[in-house]
């Protein structure tokens, strides 16, 4: 953790940062477990998934650009 973040955290001693970290890790692990369960039978390759992600990101950027114009 960088010094800036540590200092900002120290400005809030009322927060149990270990618990915040534990909860964040637990949430991430649970999300990954759900994703693994949903994709366990999938025949998609990593390349297929990356192609889909790229298309979704491009579509989202296009939508944001259109709304900004």
Q: What tens digit of pLDDT does each residue of 11-48 get?
A: 999 999 999 999 999 999 999 999 888 888 888 888 98
CB 9 within 8 A of CB 15: yes
Domain that holds residue 59: 3-68
Instruction: Please name the helix (run of DSSP H) or strand (run of DSSP E) that holds residue 8, with its range, or none.
Output: helix 3-10
Residue 69: is its pLDDT beyond 80? no
- The C-alpha atoms of residue 42 and residue 69 are separated, in whole angstroms, by 39
pLDDT at 67 over 90: no
Report the alpha-carbon distance of residue 63 to residue 57 in Å, rounded: 10
**Which run of H or of E encompasses 24?**
helix 17-39
With residue 32 as reference, give the H or E element that holds it: helix 17-39
Domain count, the chain: 1
């Amino acid at each position: 953790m960088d010094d800036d973040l540590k200092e900002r955290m120290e400005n809030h001693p009322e927060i149990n940062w270990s618990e915040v970290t534990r909860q964040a890790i637990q949430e991430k692990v649970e999300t990954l477990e759900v994703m693994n369960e949903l994709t366990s039978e999938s025949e998609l390759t990593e390349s297929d998934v990356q192609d889909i992600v790229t298309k979704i990101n491009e579509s989202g950027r296009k939508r944001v650009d259109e709304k900004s114009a």
